[in-house]
Amino acid sequence: MPQWAILLTPFLYLGLLFAIAYWADLRARSSRSLVNNPYVYTLSIAVYCTAWTFYGSVGRATQDGVTFLTIYLGPTLAAVLWWVVLRKIIRIAHIHRITSIADFIASRYGKSMLLGGLATFIAVVGITPYIALQLKAVSASFDVLLYYPEATTGAATGGLLEDKALWVAAVLALFAILFGTRHVDATERLEGMVVAVAFESIVKLIAFLSVGIFVTYILFNGPMDLVDRVAAEPAMREMLNPSGLPGGYTSWVAMIVLSMAAILFLPRQFQVTVVENVNEDHLRTAAWLFPLYLLLINLFVLPIAMAGLIYFGDAPVDPDNYVLALPLAEGRELLALFVYLGGFSAATGMVIVASIALAIMVSNDLVMPTLLRFRHMPLIERIGLRRLIVYLRRLILILLLMLGYTYFRLTADAFALVSIGLISFVAVAQFAPPILLGMYWKGASRAGALIGLTGGFIIWLYTLFIPSLVDPAWLPGMTPDGLFEGLHLLNPQALFGLTGLDAITHALFWSMLFNIGGMVLVSLFTRQSNIERIQAALFVDVFERSERDARFWQGTATVGDLEALLARFTGEHEAAEAIRDYARRQGAPLEPNQEAPPDLINQSERILTGHIGSASARVMMSSIVKGEALTFEGVMEILDATSRAIEYSRRLEQKSRELELATAELRAANQRLTELDRLKDEFVSMVSHELRTPLTSIRAFGEILLSGKDINPDQQREFMQVIVKESERLTRLINQVLDLSRIESGWGDWQLKDLDLRGVVEDAVSATSQLFTDRGVTLEWRQPDQECPIKGDSDRLIQLVINLLSNAVKFTQPERGPVHLTLQPLDTMVELQVRDSGPGIPTQEQQRIFEKFHQISDQQAGKPKGSGLGLAICKRIVDLHWGTLDVESVPGEGATFIVRLPLAGGDHCDISRDTEHR
């Protein structure tokens, strides 16, 4: 392939990227946005996979085996928490118009300029090497492509102008300027950038999969072939061991934690996941799709590493370049070129997003606050703040990329890809404590965050960054063993005597200890200012409070002043639009010399925040607002009034629900009472009727006998017999009513004992034997051989059996056959049956016969009537013994009453006898 073609390809590719970004911006302007799509969102998050992934993973795998995976396991695990943590960050950022990680920290801790500046400084220092790393990868891989097989060990840097990395950096700067600084308002989405990056994510994935498939399945015979060959070589076998990472499993954990922090807090990740997020729901898709992307792009890392080791053996080929060298060695130039574009995509995507994110940070949190102090300088007045900001951002972008390039030139040959990336990771991990603690702990204070960040950053500088720069060749005074000769406790590789950890784990441990420790301790012992407490409450309770709650200007400003201030940053048209929009929503026009409502002041501040960061916006607002900002108590009062109202109405709703429930219960209870009352009335009325009947006969005959007229002796005798019989009936009735009321009231004076039901039956049979004899009816009964142990009251049970037997004998004609009584124990029950051969009971009556005073209307004439209480009493006795009483009958063929009682020893026996049953 001609050299000019290879030289031209990456620039053509960048041209394509420009076209895509331009097209996306066009679509965004015509309201056909491409980024409101969870897949584009997820692909843009894949900017996480840089040249480090593309080239470095293979290199790492050749040394440490599968441990390269830790960097991707962390984000995969973190994705589980996205819906909780990341969604909260996104919500906060959108409400407060936060556009960078530094601004997030500054805003949370009372819109602190100092913190914003510090965070920006850390980000720049921490990320610049990472940008350099990408430039290095672009340049080195280019050399491999051009000069294979001569240049396979790394970069061969020539003169400045011949350096491809410089040209690439320049084109990337142009891209970033065009698509990253289009708007002043950083909250306006950089759709072109996002779509271009998403496109690059596709290219790098396909490129890596292509080379992976080529190496694994064309060059070799599948993954098992590779594993077998590696296992056969003792020197290579080590890479299959998962504990190969120096430091063992401690390092595994450290790497996973580190990358979990990185996926959230790397400035470029914050840019794509938070600032560019259009819809929180996209997180749902990203939470599974992004891990899947990571899995795919890592699928062939190990096979390629193994293939490279086997293929090149001892030949001097840098493992970082295996993905290119393998196709080149096989003469597949086109595949190699495509792979190169994949790596190029990975590198440029990172550089573009990272540099834009850093530029916004630097302009809003470092430069702007300073600049605003001199805002009345003639030069600034002449250019206009709005244009000044744009120029500044462009300048900053160029400077940042120059910084990265310089770093690359200075340290070009010093490191492998991985170590620089990890050093950056530890730097951004310093943001985790102030952000996470700040989101969930209102007590986290500005002073705490300052001390913690500073402490963690200094540890990072001392244990990682400076040692990485210390090249004995050009800094002979410093050695990695100790910045200060003789002070072993301060050895940057083994701080305070802590040894046995690899450099990254060691640095992470100490920096986090100082960061978190400092932050927590200082926060506990410092008092927060009003604005800190307000911001803390707004951040921590972001889901509970609405956007409009965030008002804390007590002072006054005129509408005209506000509009003028806005116009300086947003342009006159937009400023006037913002004021008109507010007036429209309020339904009343606003005059320029009118005092602005507090809501409008707050809204204006948020608009400014989007343009120049929260700290600067606050400075600007305080310049025109006369009077104090509200006190913390004042703001809390406003916030709490809202939440109190919500809480109050919530309680009211709950109360009214409870009330409805109580009403329903009362109504039901009342219904039950009414029903009981009716039953009681009915009972009394029935009793009264039943008592009056025998009394009527007694009185009538008594009076007849007393009058003594026209009665012959036979009649006299007959009448007196009636009186005696009816008196007996009366007595029986009264006794049964009393029985029933005793049984109705529950356990009363019952004697619960362990009984053998056979004894009960025997007693009942002997008590009714006279009755049977009188009526001339025979009783056939059989007792089982085994015991029928039950728990119960012997007297009641005898009464039960007597009632059943009396009933049976009452309805049985002697000539129609005997009454049968059988008793038999079943599994858990004992069953007692009394069968008569009387007229039977009509089906429709079978349930009602157990009701009190229910008499079957169709009784044979002349039969002695019962009280109508006997079966009701039986039923109640059986109920209280946890049993059942049923009747089976075919009219004309007699009736069978069946009692089933549980055998002793069941659960029911534990029930206290005081417990009212049913």
Q: Report the interface residues with other proteins, using CB under 8 A.
A: 685, 688-689, 692-693, 695-701, 703-704, 707, 709-710, 715, 719, 722, 725-726, 855, 857-859, 861-862
- Residue 868 beta carbon to other proteins: minimum distance, rounded to whole angstroms: 12
Specify the residue, 719 or 747, whose C-beta has the smaller distance to other proteins.
719
d(CA 63, CA 308): 12
Q: Which residues contact 289 (CB under 8 A, 6 or more apart)?
A: 38, 39, 42
- Residue 688 beta carbon to other proteins: minimum distance, rounded to whole angstroms: 6
Specify the residue, 261 or 698, whose C-beta has the smaller distance to other proteins.
698
Q: How far is CA 415 from CA 54, 508, 600, 615, 717, in A?
A: 16, 20, 54, 38, 134
Specify the residue, 6 or 695, whose C-beta has the smaller distance to other proteins.
695
- Residue 899 beta carbon to other proteins: minimum distance, rounded to whole angstroms: 28
- Pair of tokens at residue 239: 């890479």
Q: Quote the strand ranges of 163-303, DSSP E.
A: none
Say which amino acid occupies 554: Q
Specify the residue, 466 or 704, whose C-beta has the smaller distance to other proteins.
704
Specify the residue, 159 or 862, whose C-beta has the smaller distance to other proteins.
862
- Residue 857 beta carbon to other proteins: minimum distance, rounded to whole angstroms: 4
| Bridge partners (DSSP) listed for residue 556 | 626
Specify the residue, 626 or 689, whose C-beta has the smaller distance to other proteins.
689
- Residue 863 beta carbon to other proteins: minimum distance, rounded to whole angstroms: 10
- Residue 836 beta carbon to other proteins: minimum distance, rounded to whole angstroms: 21
Half-sphere exposure of 184 (CA within 13 A, CB side): 22
- Residue 709 beta carbon to other proteins: minimum distance, rounded to whole angstroms: 7
CB 209 within 8 A of CB 300: yes
* Closest to 898 measured CA to CA, from 918, 873, 917, 875: 875
Cα 202 → chain centroid:
30
Specify the residue, 364 or 697, whose C-beta has the smaller distance to other proteins.
697
- Residue 713 beta carbon to other proteins: minimum distance, rounded to whole angstroms: 15
- Residue 693 beta carbon to other proteins: minimum distance, rounded to whole angstroms: 6
Torsion 882-888-894-896 (CA) sign: negative
Cα 682 → chain centroid:
61
CA angle 35, 568, 620 (to 5 degrees): 95
H-helix or E-strand spanning residue 903: none
d(CA 534, CA 452): 21
Residue 489: φ, ψ to 5°: -65, -25
- Residue 722 beta carbon to other proteins: minimum distance, rounded to whole angstroms: 5
In the chain the first and final C-alpha atoms are separated, in Å, by 96
- Residue 690 beta carbon to other proteins: minimum distance, rounded to whole angstroms: 9
Specify the residue, 281 or 858, whose C-beta has the smaller distance to other proteins.
858
Q: Is 899 helix (H, G, I), strand (E, B) or coil?
A: strand
- Residue 870 beta carbon to other proteins: minimum distance, rounded to whole angstroms: 18
Q: How far is CA 633 from CA 72, 530, 630, 637, 826, in A?
A: 46, 8, 8, 6, 77
- Residue 680 beta carbon to other proteins: minimum distance, rounded to whole angstroms: 15
Specify the residue, 81 or 684, whose C-beta has the smaller distance to other proteins.
684
Q: How far is CA 162 from CA 143, 150, 158, 341, 912, in A?
A: 12, 18, 6, 20, 99
Residue with tokens 């008499």: 855
| Bridge partners (DSSP) listed for residue 884 | 900
Cis amide linkage into residue 598, ω under 30° from 0: no
Specify the residue, 267 or 868, whose C-beta has the smaller distance to other proteins.
868
d(CA 79, CA 291): 7
- Residue 865 beta carbon to other proteins: minimum distance, rounded to whole angstroms: 8
CB 771 within 8 A of CB 804: no
Specify the residue, 236 or 700, whose C-beta has the smaller distance to other proteins.
700
- Pair of tokens at residue 821: 């009584």
Specify the residue, 699 or 782, whose C-beta has the smaller distance to other proteins.
699
* Closest to 261 measured CA to CA, from 54, 63, 456, 469: 456
- Residue 654 beta carbon to other proteins: minimum distance, rounded to whole angstroms: 48
Torsion 761-766-770-776 (CA) sign: positive
Specify the residue, 707 or 912, whose C-beta has the smaller distance to other proteins.
707
- Pair of tokens at residue 153: 């060990």
Q: How many CB atoms within 10 Å of residue 462? A: 17
CB 444 within 8 A of CB 522: no
CB 823 within 8 A of CB 863: no
Specify the residue, 651 or 699, whose C-beta has the smaller distance to other proteins.
699
Specify the residue, 605 or 690, whose C-beta has the smaller distance to other proteins.
690
- Residue 689 beta carbon to other proteins: minimum distance, rounded to whole angstroms: 5
| Bridge partners (DSSP) listed for residue 830 | 825, 901
d(CA 23, CA 16): 10
Half-sphere exposure of 186 (CA within 13 A, CB side): 33
Specify the residue, 162 or 710, whose C-beta has the smaller distance to other proteins.
710
Residue with tokens 């534990």: 910
Specify the residue, 718 or 893, whose C-beta has the smaller distance to other proteins.
718
Say which amino acid occupies 183: H
State the DSSP code for 471. Answer: -
Specify the residue, 667 or 865, whose C-beta has the smaller distance to other proteins.
865
- Residue 824 beta carbon to other proteins: minimum distance, rounded to whole angstroms: 37
Cα 717 → chain centroid:
94
Burial class (CB in 10 A: 0-12, 13-18, 19+), 219: buried
- Residue 719 beta carbon to other proteins: minimum distance, rounded to whole angstroms: 8
